[in-house]
Structure formats: C-alpha cells, structure tokens
Structure 1
Amino acid sequence: MDIKIPLNIDLQNVNLLITFSNLKFQGKQIHFYKIKKECLHRFQFEKCTFESDIFIESDFEDITFISNTFNCNKFHIQKSTIGVLEFFNDEYNNQTVTSNIFKKGNLKIADCDFDTVFWLKNVEFIKNTSVDINNNKFLEGCYFDSISLDQIIFYDCNFSKEFRYDASYNRSQFRECSFSGLTTFSDLQNVNSSFLWFENCHFYKFTNFNNYWLHKLRIEETTFSDNVSFQQTYFDIVCFIRIIFEKKVWFDDIQIKKIDDCDKITIRTIKQELQKAENRIDFNRFRAYELAAHYKELDWKWNSGFIDKSILFVTKISTDFGNSWRRALVFTLISGFSIYLLLYIFENRDYQIAILNCDNWARLFSGFFRFLLVTDFYNPLEADRVYLTNPFSWLIFIFGKIVIAFGIYEMIQSFRKFKA
C-alpha cells in the first residue's frame, strides 16, 4: 500500500498499538502530532519505505522500527516524551534479515525525554547521511549496537544510566553531554577514517574504551569523575586538551601508530597517568615520545632552543631517547673511535706510518681500548704512563672522554629503564 498525499495525523484520541507493515510513505511530508498528553501510544513500523519527510511530535509508550528503508530527506522525532524507542532488524526471520537502512537525509532526535530504553541495533546509515541527537534526556539505558554511521553529533544530552556505543563510523562528536552511568565504547571496525570527538563533556561513572580500534580520538575540556580504561587500545592519532582525570586511568598496552603527529601535552598526559599507575614499561616508552615531541618543537636559534635542541639531538642519535642500549653501544664505539683516530693522526703528524706494519695496527687498537677507559688520563698512544704535551691534543682528548662518558651513561640508563 502506498500513502502518497501529505498527512497530518492527530493522535489525540488514539490509545492502542498501531502497526504499519509493508507500506510506502510518499508525498511531501507526514506529521504525527498530539496536542494534549493524556494518552500514550504504541507504534510499530515494519518493512516500510519512507520517501516522505517524517515529523513525529507526540508522547509514546514505545515506538519500534523493524527492517525499514528510509529514503527521505528528513526523519525528525522532537518535543516528545517516549518510553521505548527501538530500531532493529527482523531477527526472528533469519532467511530475510534486513536492517533499518537510511539511504539519504538526516535523522534528528531533539528535545525528547526517553523514560525507559533508547536502542539502535543493526541500523545502517549510507554515506552522506547524518544523525543529530541534541537536547535529550535518556533516563535509562541508551544503546547503539552494530551501527554503521557516516556522521553523528550528540549535543547537550544527558545519559542517566548505562550508555553503550558499538558502532562503525566516520565521525562521531559529543558536545556538552553528561554520562551518569556506565559508559562503553567498543568493537569499532572502520579504523582508517573513524574520528571520535568529545568536547566539554562529563563522565560521572566508569568509562571503558578497552580493545578499541580507532583512527583519531580527540577529547577536550572534559572531566572523568570515575575510573577510565584505555587498555589494549589502538589509535592512529590521539589529542587530549585540558582533561581532568579525578580517579585512576589505565593506559596499559596502548598503541598510537602516528605518535609523531601527537602533541607534547597529549603524550605528557598519558605519561603522567602511567607513572601514577606504576606502569614503568609503558611509562618509559611515553617518556621517550615526550622527549621526541619536545625536540621536534625546538629550533636551532642560538638565543632560544639551541642548547636544549643540541642535548636532545645527541640523546636522539645515541639511544633514541633512551629506547636502545645497543644504539648507545654503537654510538660510544663509533664516536669514540672517530675522536681517537683524530688524536692518533694529530699526534703522529710528523711521522710516516707504515699501513702494512702490524705493530702500528696493534698500537692503534690497543690505544683505542685504553682511550675508552674514562678515568685514564694518560697518553693512550704510549705504553708508559705519560701525559700528552700538546694543548690541541688535550682538547681532542678531553672532548673524546666526555663523548665516551656520555655514551656509557646513556647505555646504563637504557639498561636501567625497568628499575625503580
């Protein structure tokens, strides 16, 4: 059956379950409304096609959408008090299971109170569709299960009880929302382009992001009053701006692929919480990330960041900011030998050295191993315990000792990174 004319349906005197099945709504728009609030209604739409713009403005005991197709520009539910609102597929008929599909347009839910359950399950929003959920109160559970979204925006919403968000999407934004119950974000599939953004929100109870895979996470001006868990999460990019964690935060085994694109404040926030949790393994990893981010911010201007940049540059090439003792060992041997070779050439500038003479090679390498002894200040090129006599040789010698001592210190620090 096709309904092709614009309709204004007055629900004033209706107080029963109404089922719309296998209908096609056509025309400009259909408006469900009620002036008074004495009666509640129960609506069920099953396997219908909506080509008209739909506006629902009434009070309901429950509204259920099962396996419908939405091909309209606007589907708005607003200024209503609703007990249960559900979107789900016909899961009792496994042979012809069909999700609710929004092929185009905008789903808007605004200025509503949901007294019992708000549940979207197996709903598919095709590309270029959008969902706006603003100025709503969810007094009981609010669930998004196995949802495919292109873009969704939550603004000024209050989630009083459990909130579960199991959805794949391109962009989800929560602005000025409060979460008063358990909050869970899970099972995201579209890692390549997904963006989850919280702005000026407040989480009052435990918040769970465990095992969450996401392209970009941005949280700003947000307070977490209870524990938060980011254990075994994977992100390409993370951005934290002025976040307040009032209780414990777990970042165990968090992975950030494009850590070089993260700012220093974000990395420092994660590092500080890892330190509070006494997670030394991940703490040292993010300590190195923080130094790398700080090094990236500095410049080589003499009157600004030259000294700090120089120190961090040496730390970077020697141990990659404390991440590799092997790199420190190689740095110590190569840099030490290079300086020692310069000293060897300068001290033997008046002599002709026979390259094929094995004694010269033995003298060269035995002197180098002696040169590696930081506390040995005698001439490494002489068998006797005598000092260097040339001032320039002393400059090379002292500089070499400093470089070797630095390399050994960095290597020891890399060994000790798991110590208390």
Structure 2
Amino acid sequence: METINLVTEIQNDKSEFNDVIINFDANSFDANHDFLKNRLYFKNCTFENDVLIEYLNKKDFSIQFHNCVFDGELTISNCDLNRLQLSFLKSIKNITIEECNLENIIINSNNQPLTGNIKIENCVVNKSILCESLNILKGEFNIDLFNEKIENQKNFQILFQRSSFDILNFSHTVFGEYSNFQRMKVINSSNFYNCDFQKSYFDEVTFGTNSFFCFCKFHSTTSFKNCRNIEKTNIKILNCLFTSMPYFNNSSFNSLEIENTNFEKKVSFDLLEVNTIKLYQVTFLQGAFFDDININFIENCDRKSIRTIKQEIQKAENRIDFNRFKNYEMATYYKELNWKKNFVDKSILYMTKISTDFGNSWSKALGFTLLSALLFFSLFFINENYNNSFDIKNWTQFTSGYFRFFLVTDFYNPLETDRVYLTNPLSWLIFIFGKIVIAFGIYEMIQSFRKFKA
C-alpha cells in the first residue's frame, strides 16, 4: 500500500482515504482549518504510528474509520463532533476518547477478535453509543461518562448486544431511556459502578468470572433473563436501588450475592439456578418471587439468606417451596450449632437429619424406623435370653416379637403370648428407649408424607 502524509493530503482538499498507509504528524495538523470539510473518512487504512486528534470543534463534523489497522495509539481529545465511528476494526493497540462532546459513537469489529484497550472518559455523548459485534478478546473496555449533562435523556441509547469483552467497566454513567446488552459475553470481569439505568436488558448475557453492580440505580424495567454460566459467574449487587420490577428468571450463576439493596417493586427469581446465594440486608418492599429456585450447594449458604427466601415464598403462599426451604433452614441451622454449647438443639436436629434428612425423605424415615427397631429389639432379645442356649428355632419368636415391638403403646413383654410385664431393669431401659426411637421414626415419616399439607 502507498504511504501518504495525512496533513498534506487534507491541505490538498482531500477528505476520503482508501487502502493507504497513513503517516500522521499531529504536531503540524491544525484541526480547525477551513479546508476541512464535513468529515474525515478512512477505509482499509493502516496507521503506523500514534494518531492524535484534538480541539476539533465542529458540530456537524464526522470522523469515520472503517476496516482500519492501528499499529499505534489513537487519541481523540477535547473535540466537539457529530459522529465518531470506528467500524470493522481489524487491529488496535490503545484507543482513548476523552473530554469530548459527541452526538454519536460507533465502535465495532464485526466480531473480529481484537487485542488492546478502549477508553471513553469524561465525555458527554448526547444520542448513542453503539458497540454491537465488538470483540475484545484481550484487553479492557472502560467507559466513564458525565451524561447527567444531557438535556434529553430519552433520546440517548447504549447498545452492546452480541459483543464480547475480556474486561468491561462502566462508571459514573447515566444511561438513557434504553440500554441493551443482550447476548453480550464477558470473559473475565465486568463492573458497573455508580450508574443510573432506565430500561436495561441483560438477557442471555454470559457474565465473566466476577461481575459487580455497585451503587447503581435502576429506574425502569431491568431484565437478567436466561443468563447462563453456572460454572464460573459470580454476580454481586451491592448498595443498589431498584425502583421498578427486575427479572432474574431462568438464569444460572455460580453465586449470586445481593447486599444492602432495596427493591421497591416486586422482583422475580423464578427458575433461577445457583450454586450458592447470599442475601444480606436486602429489602423486598412488595415481595419477591422465588418459584422453583434451585440452589445446588445449599449447605454452603448462610441461614439468614435461606430464611429470607423462605419468608418471601411464604408471602407468595407457595406451600411446596416453603416446606423445602424450611427444611433447608433447619439444615443450615444444624451446621451452625456447636455440640458443646447447643447440645439439646444439635441432638434434636441430628436425629431429624439421620431419620428423614430434615423432612425431605419418607423412605429414609421408614428405613431409620425399621433399622432402629431391629437394633433395640436385638439388644432386648439378647438381654432376655442370654442365660438360655442358642436355638435356631427361636427365630419365629424373634420375628413375631420384632413386629409386636412396633406397637408403641404396648408395654407388655413382646416375647410372651400373654400379657406379662418385664422384670429385668436393663430390659425395661432398652425397651423404653426403643419405643421412643420407633415413635420418633414413625412421627418423622408421617411428617414427611404431610409436607405439602397446610
């Protein structure tokens, strides 16, 4: 490709450049000369060294780079423009847009993988930031705007759908009426700090390993539906405010942590799947839906979080999930108790755990009852017959006595056909404890069957 001097070409009244290598000498370029027309347009160009464009203040002016390669750094500084477009980027190093007032910014790579950094800082963007199909495989994309200066936020849009980022950071950004991140993919981390959202859509986003929403306000519909990365994604929502109804339906995360956050309207977590969840000082003013939520590692969750979910499910009169989370709460409480300091509560919950898994399994309760009865009756039988010689024919006496042992209100000797009381104190002790354990097992089994009853 031919190498040209950009300043010389512009002075010769040229504003479009195709298939050339640009030698850009910023020190000799007076950006506000009258010979500049309404745009600079670069197509299929390669910029070998750093590019600096600053103090270009023309409201109707556009700078467009299409299918270009930047071997050095590109800096747009202190400019007032209509449009800045970097489309179908092929290669970048560092792109910095700072202290500018722009109507529109368009950045994309047509899904071409890029390595490098893009930063939009201390700018006012009045109408749109369009970053669709932008793929930064390695590097950072940072946006720090002061969009509260915009007169009409309803006309402002941010679109990032179908883009991929290694690291994505938004801070001090006032999003307009509509922002769309649908089908975006984050490889490493994303951070939204001190941002204001109106209608915002994060549907089908693959969040990175760590994603943070800190000190953000969501003033309209917010959707996190069908976001799926159960293996890696850790979502943290800290010190945020949701004034309208958000949706987390049918999404899956490794962990979801919400702290010091207020939901002023209803919030939906229906069909959410997480490995762990933490809710700390979260206010649901109009309630929350947790229908069919699935927590894979409930043992790693704290009791306060489980209790919060249980209370919201109870408000929604969801009897099935309420019983499930009541049992989860007992399991987490059991884990917190200490045998030495909380022996009574710990022992009661331990019996519930080994008998029915905190009310989750009637079959386990049946097995517990049969085995416990067999153990105590065997001890009882041995104690009553230890002076007698062993006779295999006694198995009929053992079997009939074993089944009679299940009659918890029968206090007669189960080895006798007549109503005969026991005389051996040790036999009485084994007999009474066995009856108590059998009664406990039968009660827990009945409770397991009644788990869906009011």
Shared fold per TM-score greater than 0.5:
yes
Aligned to 1:106: 140
Which of 325, 329, 339 in structure 1 is aligned with 2:376? 339
Deviation track 1:279-333 (CA, whole Å, cap 9, x = no partner) reads 12112222222111111122221xx022211111111111111011111111111
CA distance in 1, matches of 2:445, 2:317: 23
Alignment-derived partner of residue 43 in structure 1: 84
8 Å CA contact retained: 2:167, 2:189: yes
Q: How does 1:17-416 map to 2 (within 5 A)?
A: 17-34=62-79, 41-48=82-89, 49-67=91-109, 70-88=114-132, 99-113=133-147, 115=153, 116-125=156-165, 129-149=166-186, 150-170=188-208, 171-301=210-340, 304-355=341-392, 357=393, 360-416=394-450
Asked whether the equivalents of residues 226 and 249 of structure 2 are also in contact (C-alpha less than 8 Å), the reply is no
Q: Kindly indicate whether the alpha-carbon contact (under 8 Å) linking 1:7 and 1:30 is maintained by their aligned counterparts in 2.
A: yes
Letter of the aligned partner of 2:84 in structure 1? F
Secondary structure of 2:377 counterpart: helix
Q: Per-residue displacement from partner, 1:151-179 (whole Å, max 9, x unpaired)?
A: 11111111133443542122210001010
* Cα RMSD, aligned residues only: 1.9
Return closer, same or farther for 1:231/1:276 CA change in 2, 3 Å cut-off.
same
Q: Percent identity?
A: 42
Question: Secondary structure of 2:180's partner?
Answer: strand
Alpha carbons 1:26, 1:52 under 8 Å: kept: no
Secondary structure of residue in 1 paired with 2:433 = helix
Cα separation, 2, equivalents of 1:217 and 1:279 = 22
Partner of 1:95: none
2:54 to 5, 9, 27: 9
Partner SS, residue 242 of structure 1:
strand
Which residue number corresponds to residue 96 of structure 1?
none
**Alpha-carbon distance, 1:40 to partner:** 5.5
Q: CA 1:83 to 1:239, structure 2 compared with 1: closer, same or farther past 3 Å?
A: same
The structure that has the greater radius of gyration is 2
- Quote the offset at 1:29 in angstroms: 4.3
Give the TM-score of the pair, scaled to structure 2.
Answer: 0.83
Q: Distance in 1 between matches of 2:106 and 2:145?
A: 19
In structure 2, distance between residues paired with 1:11 and 1:261: 57
Is contact 1:106-1:130 (8 Å) kept?
Answer: yes
For structure 1, which segment, 50-59 or 313-322, has the greater mean C-alpha deviation from structure 2 after superposition? 50-59
Q: For residues 309 and 5 of structure 1, what CA distance do their matches in structure 2 show? A: 69
Given the two structures, how large is their TM-score scaled by the length of structure 1? Answer: 0.89
Distance (whole Å) between structure 2 residues aligned to residue 172 and residue 21 of structure 1:
32
- Pairs aligned (count): 398
Deviations 1:385-418 (A, max 9, x none): 1211122221111111111111111011011001
Matching of residue 417 in structure 1 with residue 454 in structure 2: no
- Tell me, what secondary structure is at the counterpart of 1:334? helix
Any idea what SS the aligned residue of 1:419 has?
A: coil
Asked if the contact 2:56–2:81 (Cα under 8 Å) also holds between the matched residues in 1, the reply is no
Structure 2 counterpart of 1:193, one-letter code: K
Preserved contact between residue 238 and residue 258 of structure 2 (Cα < 8 Å): yes
Q: 1:165 to 1:174 in 2, by over 3 A?
A: farther
SS in 2 for 1:226: coil
Which stretch shows the higher mean deviation, 216-225 or 64-73? 64-73
Q: Which secondary structure state, in structure 2, belongs to the residue aligned with residue 137 of structure 1?
A: coil
Flag the 1:309–1:52 CA change in 2: closer, same or farther, 3 A: closer
Shift of 1:383: 1.1
Deviates more, 1:49-58 or 1:278-287: 49-58
CA distance in 2, matches of 1:78, 1:24: 25
Residue by residue over 1:79-113, the C-alpha shift from the partner in whole angstroms, topping out at 9 and shown as x without a partner, is: 3243111111xxxxxxxxxx322243322111331
* Residue ranges of structure 1 left out of the alignment (5+ in a row): 89-98
